[in-house]
Amino acid sequence: MLPFGKLLRQLRHERHVPLSQLAKHMEMSVSYISDVELERRQPFNSENIIKAAAFFNVDPQILEQAACVSRETFPISTSNRPATSIELVAAFARGFPNLTEEQCGKIMEILNQSQG
């Protein structure tokens, strides 16, 4: 997964969009957009992620996920979830720092199967 700034730059370059054009659409300065692309500033907020996604005609989730990578934080909503789901999220958060690569791989296999 790419961090937000690198993904933003990649989208812009693939579409041959100059910084000035993106900055005008986003109602931001060229230097601000440049700093975001270079990871010197935090990713856009959710409102601006939606605006950028519409500009590039991409799913906002792609940009949201990249923003999470940059922020090193992935929010998980437990709203309307059963108690066992909430316990699972809490246990994962507690145990995550100690997981080995092998354990992470096994968890990924399980999650990929549930989405398949």
Q: Say which range, 8-17, 19-28, 87-96, has the weakest mean pLDDT.
A: 87-96
According to the model, what pLDDT value does residue 104 have? 95
Mean pLDDT, residues 49-73 taken together: 97
CA distance between the termini of the chain: 20
Domain(s) of CATH 1.10.260.40: residues in the chain: 4-71
* pTM of the full structure: 0.81
Q: Hey, what CATH topology would domain 4-71 get?
A: 434 Repressor (Amino-terminal Domain) (1.10.260)
Q: Give pLDDT, residue 116.
A: 67
Asked if the model's pLDDT at residue 71 lies above 90, the reply is: yes
- What local confidence, expressed as pLDDT, does residue 29 receive? 98
> CB atoms < 10 A from the CB of 44, how many?
22
